[in-house]
C-alpha cells in the first residue's frame, strides 16, 4: 500500500540527504535540501516501505521556493496532459480492436456487441470523447457527415475539451 506524502514533512531522500517537502502536486513535488538550503523539483515522488523519499527525476538549484513551485506546477500539468492523451489513445485503440473483432462477413459487423464490450471497459463519456476527437482531427475525411461533424463540435464545446491538448491524437481508424 502506497504511503501518503504530506506537505512540510521531513524525509530522507534516496541519496541519503534530508529533505522537507514544500508542495506536493499530483506528479511532482518541491523539496528543500537541508544541507544546501536550496529547493529542487522532483517528479513522480514516492515514499518506500522503509520511509525513504524516491523520485524519477530531480531538478536542483532553485534559490526560491516560488520559482521551484512554479516549475513543479508546469511539469505537473505536462505529466497530466501526457496521461490524458495516453488514456484517450487507449480508448481509441480498444474501439478499433473491438469493432474489427465484431466482423461477421461481407462487411457486416455486430456493432451492438462491439459497443457493449467497449462500454464494459470504458465509460460512455470516454468513448464519446474518443469518437468526437477522431471526427474533429479528421474533419477532411469524407466518411463523416456534416451531422457527425456538428455533433463532434458540439460535444467538444459543451464539455470544454481543449482540442489543442490532443494535437497528436489521431483517433480511431
The Cα–Cα gap between 37 and 18 comes to 10
Q: What residues have CB less than 8 Å from 88, skipping those under 6 apart?
A: 126, 129, 130, 133, 166, 169
One digit per residue, pLDDT tens: the chain, 173 residues? Answer: 445 566 668 888 888 899 988 888 988 999 999 889 999 999 988 888 888 888 888 999 899 999 999 999 999 988 887 788 788 888 988 988 888 888 777 777 888 888 899 999 988 888 998 999 888 888 888 888 999 999 999 998 988 888 887 776 767 76
Phi, psi of 134 (to 5 degrees): -65, -50
The Cα–Cα gap between 78 and 13 comes to 24
Pick left, alpha or beta for residue 8 (phi over 0 → left; psi -120 to 50 → alpha; otherwise beta): left
The Cα–Cα gap between 94 and 102 comes to 12
Amino acid at each position: 500500500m502506497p504511503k501518503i506524502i504530506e506537505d512540510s514533512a521531513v524525509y530522507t531522500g534516496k541519496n541519503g540527504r534530508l529533505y522537507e517537502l514544500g508542495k506536493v502536486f499530483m506528479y511532482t513535488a518541491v523539496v528543500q535540501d537541508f544541507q544546501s538550503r536550496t529547493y529542487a523539483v522532483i517528479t513522480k515522488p514516492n515514499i518506500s516501505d522503509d520511509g525513504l523519499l524516491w523520485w524519477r527525476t530531480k531538478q536542483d538549484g532553485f534559490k526560491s521556493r516560488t520559482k521551484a513551485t512554479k516549475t513543479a506546477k508546469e511539469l505537473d500539468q505536462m505529466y497530466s496532459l501526457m496521461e490524458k492523451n495516453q488514456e484517450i489513445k487507449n480508448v481509441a485503440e480498444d474501439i478499433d480492436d473491438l469493432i474489427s473483432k465484431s466482423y461477421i462477413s461481407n462487411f457486416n459487423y455486430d456493432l451492438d456487441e462491439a459497443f457493449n464490450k467497449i462500454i464494459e471497459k470504458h465509460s460512455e463519456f470516454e468513448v464519446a470523447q474518443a469518437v468526437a476527437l477522431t471526427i474533429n482531427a479528421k474533419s477532411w475525411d469524407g466518411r463523416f457527415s456534416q451531422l457527425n461533424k456538428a455533433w463532434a463540435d458540439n460535444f467538444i464545446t459543451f464539455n470544454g475539451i481543449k482540442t489543442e491538448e490532443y494535437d497528436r491524437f489521431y483517433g480511431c481508424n
